Amino acid sequence: MSTQLTPAQLRHAIRTGEHTTNTSGLCQGFVQCNVAILPKAWADEFLQFCQLNQKPCPVVAMAAQPGDTNLVEIAPDFDIRTDVPKYRIWKHGELVDEVADISNVWRDDLVTFLLGCSFSFEEALIADGLEVRNISEGKNVPMYDTNIACREAGRFHGNTVVSMRPFKPADAIRMIQICSRFPSVHGAPIHFGDPAAIGIKDINKPEYGDAVTIKDGEVPVFTACGVTPQAAIMAAKPEFCITHSPGHMVVTDIPNSKLAIL
């Protein structure tokens, strides 16, 4: 699959089953989103959870009404039932299926949330000349459970999950400046340095993703991560919900630069 496809072309290829793999590195310059689809009976509390925990759970877009399958603000032709390469279907917190199309399980009470993802700020970091270690090492970013509690909203609760990227201090300062411009993709990091200070047991054993090299003179920099809302959903165990499969994101028509507040 060429990386030169427009978002509309890629979504069409996904919809027709021509593209079935992850979206990492595709349609560079355009926002990609995490997906959470919840029944209306759970959606209000989930939105409140996101509102109370905006750094890990930045809502880029949500369906105007339960049952809506389009979200015009992210793309005029978008259809949430067909435009994600791979979906995960969950019942009572258990993964029950992984599918390429959710048209046959769609319900009129389902509310779609699209959440910001780190691809947007990683692109800005690389454009500024910073090395993003998980990318240069061809790995998934390492992610860790922390002891930083999210604010509860109804049945949704849990601790913040963070991703980690190592930088030299001067580069970390620049990274903080750049990421501060992107509040809707997790914004500035929430911690750097001592992993134990936020309850991380072993920096070399991430709970999600892959460990990356931390070189001499570098400090680990920790950013709130989109796995946080997924973990909160799994813990809340709604009778039914749908997420994207990791790395298989919604590709929007929104340029990454549109997420920059300055």
CB of 50 to its own copies, least distance (A): 21
Asked if 130 is part of the footprint of its own copies (rule: CB under 8 A), the reply reads no
Kindly tell me which residue out of 188, 200, 224, 231 binds its own copies, with binding defined by CB under 8 A.
188
Residue with Cβ nearer its own copies (34 or 146): 146
- Residues in contact with its own copies, shown as a per-residue x/- string from 227 to 246 under the rule CB under 8 A: --------------------
DSSP-based three-state secondary structure for 34 = strand
Q: Which member of 109, 128, 194, 202 binds its own copies (CB under 8 A)?
A: 194
Q: How far is the CB of 182 from its own copies (least distance, A)?
A: 13
What's the CA gap between 34 and 45, in Å, rounded?
Answer: 18
Residues touching its own copies, count (CB under 8 A): 18
Residue indicated by tokens 């270690």: 133
Q: Which of 135, 161, 172, 203 binds its own copies (CB under 8 A)?
A: 172
Q: CA-to-CA distance for 116 and 181, rounded, in angstroms?
A: 13
Q: How far is residue 69's CA from residue 106's CA, in Å, rounded to a whole number? A: 9
Q: How far is the CB of 259 from its own copies (least distance, A)?
A: 16
Q: What are phi and psi of 17, to 5 degrees?
A: 85, 5
Which residues, 6 or more positions from 223, have their beta carbon under 8 angstroms from its beta carbon?
Answer: 118, 162, 163, 164, 165, 179, 186, 189, 190
Would you tell me which residues interact with its own copies (CB under 8 A)? 169-170, 172-173, 176-177, 180, 188-194, 197, 217, 219, 262
